[in-house]
Amino acid sequence: MNLDKMYFIVIDDSKLDCFIAEKVIQNTGRSESVRSFAGASEALEYMKALPPDRKTVILVDIQMPLMNGFEFLDAFKNNIPVEKQSNFIINLLSSSINESDQNRAKAYPFVNQFLNKPLSKGALENMISAIA
Amino acid sequence: MEKQEKIKVLYIDDEPHNLVGLKATFRMDYNILTANSADEGRALLEKHPDIKVILCDQRMPGKTGVQFFEEITHIFPHPVRMLLTGYTDIESVVNAINRGHVYRYITKPWTEADIRSAIEEGYKYYVTSTMLALRNEELQKAYDELDKFAYSITHDMRGPIVSSLGAIEIVQNSNDLNEVKEVAGMMEKSLQSMDALIQNMHEYYTIKRGELTIVDIRFDELINDFKEVFSVTAKMGNIDFEINLQQEGVFRSDELTLKIIVTNLLSNAFKYQRSNAVSKFVKLDVKATPESATVIVRDNGIGIEEAYVNDIFSMFFRATSQNTGSGFGLYNVKDALRKLNGHIQVHSKPGEGTEFRVEIPGK
C-alpha cells in the first residue's frame, strides 16, 4: 500500500465547509498540503499550474455561485490536458440528497466518489485507502 | 342570469338565406358573425380571437364542415365546434367527432330551442375548459417553483445544518479554545444565512399570496425603521449610512411590500461591501409625490460583473461567492415590484459600487 502523503484541494463557497474539510483531511495524517478555494474557476487556474507529476485529491461542492460543481467538471474535462487529468482524483462533496445530482455525477467517468456532508474522517479514510 | 357581454358566435354556411335567418332569430341574444365559406370563416376567427362558439354547415362547396374543423382544431383550439347538417349519414357523424372534434351535432332544419341550448351548453363548456387551461398553466408554474424550492430546501437549508454538525464534531475533538471560538463564529454566520433564507421564503409567500393593503405611506417613519434595523450593521462594518428624504403630499401604496423591496436592497448594499475599502457608504434617497415614489439605494461595494447583471433577479441566482446570499432577495424585490406595477434599474461597476433605482406609482 502506498503511504505517501497526498495533496488536497477543497472547493466550496462556504467558509465553514472548507474549514471542516481541511480539519478532517489534516486529521487523517495523510495530507502533504490542503488548499481551499471559494470559487471553482480560481481552483481550476491553480490546478492548471500544478507540476505535471503531482497527484492531487479534489473535493468539490455542487451548489456554488458562478461556477457550480457540474460546470467545474465540464471545465475540467475541456480545459485540463487529457494527459494531466489522471493526476486529479475528483470527488464531489455535497449536502445534496437529491438523486438527480447523484445520477448526474455518475455521468462523469472521472468522478471518483460522491461524498456526503458533513465530511467524516471515516469516509475520507475509506476513500483514500481505495485510491492509494 | 345577469346578461353580460353577448356570446360571440361564428356561423358558416354557403347558403345566404340560412345565414340571414339564424342571425335574425338570435340577434338579440348573441353576437353572431356570419361567413359564406370556410375560408371566410377562418379569416373571421383570425380577426376575432374572442369567438366562443362556431356553428358550421357540413355540406359546402370546397371544404366540408368536418374538413374545416379538422383544419382549425390546432390553430384555434378554444372555440367550441358544432356541426349543422341536413344529411344524417353516420359516416359524417363519426368523422365529425373523431377528426373535427365537434362538441355537438345539430340536424337541419334546426329549431330555435336546439340552437339556443347548443350555444348555451357550448359556452359553458368553453368557459370551463379555458379556465381549466389557465389554471393548468398557473399550476405548472407553481410546480416548477416548487421543484426549485424542494431543491433549495434540501440544499440551502440542509447545508448549514450539516456544516454545523461537522463543526460540532471538530469542536468536540479540539482542546484549542481559539479554534473553538473561530468555529463558533463560522457556525453563527452559517446559521444566520439559513435564518435569512427562511425569512426570504416568508417574504416570498407574503408577496405571492398576500393581498395589497393600500395605506398612506409615512416615509419618515419607514426610514426610522430602516435606520434602526441597519444601524448595528453600519457601525460594525464601519459603513456610513446616509439618508435623504423628500416627500411632497401623500403617497399611497402597500407598506409591507414596499418595506420588503427597500429592506432587501439595503441589506444587499450593506452585505456586498469591499472589506478593505476606506470610507464605505450606503446611501438611501427617497423622493415621493402622490403620483410616484423613487427610491435609490447606492453603495461603493464590490459591484456586479456585467455578465451577471441580467441574472441577478432570477430565483436562487448568486453573482458572487463572497458572503452568504440566498439568491432570493432580488427575486423577491422584482416580484414585489410587479405587484406594485413598479420598475427597477441597476447601474453597477465591479470594484466601484452599485446603484438600484426603483420607481413605484402611487395608488
Specify whether the CB–CB gap between B172 and B339 falls below 8 A: no
At B213 the three-state DSSP class reads coil
**Could you give the CA distance from residue A55 to residue A32 in angstroms, rounded to a whole number?**
11
pLDDT at B353: 95
> Is residue A23 less than 8 Å (CB to CB) from chain B?
yes
pLDDT, tens digit (0-9, with 9 covering 90-100), for A13-27: 988 999 999 999 999
DSSP, collapsed to helix, strand or coil, labels residue B159 as: helix
Secondary-structure breakdown of chain B: helix, strand, coil percentages, each rounded to the nearest 5: 50, 20, 30
CATH number at residue A98: 3.40.50.2300
Say how far apart CA B296 and CA B286 lie, in whole Å: 6
Chain A to chain B Cβ contacts (< 8 Å):
78
pLDDT tens figures, B33-58: 999 999 999 999 999 999 999 999 98
pLDDT at A102: 87
Mean residue pLDDT of chain B comes to 90
How far is the C-alpha of A118 from the C-alpha of A24, rounded, in Å? Answer: 10
**Does position B326 have pLDDT exceeding 90, yes or no?**
no
Name the amino acid, one letter, at B181.
K
In angstroms, the CA B85 to CA A125 distance is 82
- The domain tally of chain A equals 1
Q: Please tell me the predicted confidence (pLDDT) of residue A8.
A: 97
Q: How far apart are CA B203 and CA B206, in angstroms?
A: 5
Cα–Cα distance between B341 and B152 in angstroms, integer? 28
Could you say which of B166, B183, B189 has the minimum Cβ distance to residue A117? B166
The pLDDT value recorded for residue A100 is: 84
CA–CA distance, B300 with B323 (Å, rounded to integer): 16
Report the run of H or E that residue B293 belongs to, with start and end.
Answer: strand B292-299
Mean pLDDT value across residues A69-92 = 94
Residue A13 falls inside a structural domain: yes
User: Is residue A1 included in any domain, yes or no?
Assistant: no
Superfamily of domain B212-363: Histidine kinase-like ATPase, C-terminal domain (3.30.565.10)
Mutate to test the interface with B, among A12, A20, A28, A70 (most CBs of B within 10 A): A20
- Residues for chain A: how many in total? 132
**DSSP β-bridge partners for residue B12:** B35, B56
Strands (E), chain B: 7-12, 30-35, 53-57, 80-85, 104-107, 214-216, 239-247, 252-254, 280-288, 292-299, 343-349, 353-361
Q: Please, which residues bridge with residue B81 across strands?
A: B54
pLDDT of B345 strictly over 90: yes
The pLDDT score that the predictor gives to residue A3 is 58
Instruction: Please say whether the beta carbons of B122 and B84 come within 8 A.
Output: no
B220, B248 contact by CB (below 8 A): no
> According to the model, what pLDDT value does residue B101 have?
83
Backbone φ and ψ for A117, nearest 5 degrees, come out as: -85, 150
Run of H or E residues at B132: helix B112-152
Task: Indicate the domain borders of chain B.
Answer: 7-110, 212-363
10 Å CB burial of residue B132 (0-12, 13-18, 19+) is: exposed
Give the largest CA-CA distance in chain A.
39
Q: Which residue of A has its CA nearest to B305?
A: A66
Determine, for residues A17 and B163 on separate chains, whether the beta-carbon distance falls below 8 Å: yes
Contacts of B176 in chain A (CB under 8 A): none
Per-residue pLDDT, B1: 43
Q: How far is B272 from chain A (nearest CA, A)?
A: 15
Whether the upstream peptide bond of residue A118 has omega within 30° of 0, thus cis, is yes
pLDDT band at B2 (very low <50, low <70, confident <90, very high): very low
Most confident of B79-83, B133-137, B311-315: B79-83
In this prediction, residue B323 carries a pLDDT of 61
Please say whether the beta carbons of B82 and B122 come within 8 A: yes
Of B162, B189, B319, the CB nearest to A95: B162
* Radius of gyration for the alpha carbons in chain B, expressed in angstroms and rounded: 31
How distant is the alpha carbon of residue B210 from its chain centre? 14
Q: Is the pLDDT of residue B5 over 70?
A: yes
CA distances (Å), B33 to each of A86, B11, B154, in order? 74, 6, 56
Architecture of domain B7-110: 3-Layer(aba) Sandwich (3.40)
pLDDT for B201: 87
ipTM: 0.85
Report the C-alpha gap between B39 and B58 in whole angstroms: 14
Range of the domain at A113: 6-131
Q: pLDDT over 70 for what percent of chain A?
A: 98
Q: How high is the pLDDT of residue B121?
A: 94
Q: Rounded distance, CA A102 to CA A119, Å? A: 16
Q: How many of the other CB atoms lie within 10 Å of CB of B120? A: 15
Q: Dihedrals φ, ψ of B44, to 5°?
A: -65, -35
| pLDDT exceeds cutoff 60 at B3 | no
Q: What is the mean pLDDT of residues B117-125?
A: 94
Tell me the C-alpha distance between B103 and B99, whole Å.
12
Please give the grid coordinates belonging to residue B182.
473561530
Q: Rounded to an integer, what distance in angstroms lies between the CA atom of residue B327 and that of residue B197?
A: 9
- End-to-end Cα, chain A, rounded Å: 7
Question: For residue B167, which residues of chain A lie inside 8 Å, CB to CB?
Answer: 16, 19-20, 118
Q: Is the omega angle on the peptide bond into residue B350 within 30 degrees of 0, that is, cis?
A: no
pLDDT of residue B4: 67
